[in-house]
Structure 1
């Protein structure tokens, strides 16, 4: 039996005692992992990144430098969060109540961003909660996501809009006609079930 991969937490990182860190996960310089956060196996948390209380990451996730993952975000296996990405959690942000008193944790309800398996969020993008990012989708750098994203969608802009489809390899798919698409890297094929739904064509 192969040995369990080593977990590494840099001495400058701030990891709460109640956080769960999976085997082989690396938490780099000045990163902060808050209370009751759960990080799966073989994750990478980059320099200065923030993981909020109770946030959940699956296995093999990458959260790059200075990304902000606010609670109650959930990331499935294999999710990529680019540098300086922000996952928000407040639909109606205010520092104070209508009477001018400072808002406390009891004065608002956090809402989260859910990111499905294999999806990638490009550098400096912002995902406005509540929103779900579909499996294997790709959000282009600098985009602002304000609505749910389909599986395999290629999204760019502010607000983000779909400009194509991507496969599991992350490359734009090539249209073959009649709603059929192909990955130029793997040769895998996909079929458009509708204008907002792409499904993998499984081999016989």
Structure 2
């Protein structure tokens, strides 16, 4: 419906960082038609925000902008021929709770939610419908893709990439340049070392430490040449609580509670039961099972007792046939 001059006004202001998201949040509460344009300059990322209001709301909106923004520059223009687009537009607001802050270089897409005390710094990017809990830190260069949920008191280090539909619990520390792909679930009190890589369809339970450069994968292959769907299948890797994965280790399959996998070990889509120790550099072959409480070493990995018995046998034979050996 067309309206007469001065029935509506356009208010334009340029704001940056946390201010722009707080202002959008308030305008959404009023169910107003607004648009945003990102402006990049020497001082970082700013938003040129334009909102159309009825004449009787002009003073109220001016007070709202001045209350949220620091020394805003505001332009007011009467609007004619304006049509309310409420019925055809679809947008989701960005919500910043008290104490949450966003860098002027960061980008938050529609539907992002930051709880009390959380911080997004540098040029981090949070895609649609990302939810961040309380007192969580998101570092510079971080990319968090759509529909990911991160809990309270977490730390996401510089350059980390987190995929779609990821669930991360509370008190999780993700170091620099970690890659977490889609559909991953991470519990509470987890630590993931620098440049580690978690592939899709991986579940990490509570109180787990994953070392730097470790890789948690989910694909098993029966043989090199693929002849049918059964030859290659996606394994949903699950690592139970209390487990330690050493630096550079490659792990896939099921890993029980309180397991220790040494640095540079390989667990190739195997079943590792609880309380197992896999020695550094050991290789657990595809489809193998390691029973609870064992310590395995070598390639292929075998119980350390087997190697000790072999060592005793070699020593006995060397002593018995010493003359012949010489």
TM-score computed with the length of structure 1 as normaliser: 0.67
Q: Deviations over 1:73-112 (max 9, x none)?
A: 001011111101111222239xxx99xxxxxxxxx75323
Q: Per the alignment, in what secondary structure is the counterpart of residue 219 of structure 2?
A: coil
1:89–1:112 contact (8 Å) kept in structure 2: yes
- Residue segments in structure 2 that go unaligned for 5+ positions in a row: 1-116, 118-132, 285-289, 297-326
Q: Deviations over 1:53-90 (max 9, x none)?
A: 01000001111111101010001011111101111222
- Residue segments in structure 1 that go unaligned for 5+ positions in a row: 99-107, 165-204
Give the number of the structure with larger relative contact order, counting CA–CA contacts within 8 Å between residues 6 or more apart: 1
CA distance in 2, matches of 1:83, 1:16: 23
5 Å-filtered alignment, 1:48-59, equals 48-59=177-188
- Residue in structure 2 matching 1:163, options 295, 319, 324: 295
5 Å-filtered alignment, 1:167-186, equals none
Q: Per the alignment, in what secondary structure is the counterpart of residue 148 of structure 1?
A: strand
TM-score computed with the length of structure 2 as normaliser: 0.43
Indicate the residue corresponding to 1:103 in structure 2: none
CA distance in 2, matches of 1:22, 1:77: 13
User: As a proportion of its length, which structure holds more helix?
Assistant: 2
How many pairs align? 150
Matched, 1:118 2:242: yes
Q: Per the alignment, in what secondary structure is the counterpart of residue 91 of structure 1?
A: strand
1:70–1:112 contact (8 Å) kept in structure 2: no
Give runs of ≥4 in structure 1 deviating > 3 Å.
none
Q: Tell me which structure has the larger Cα radius of gyration.
A: 2
Aligned alpha-carbon RMSD (Å): 2.5
1:71–1:110 contact (8 Å) kept in structure 2: no
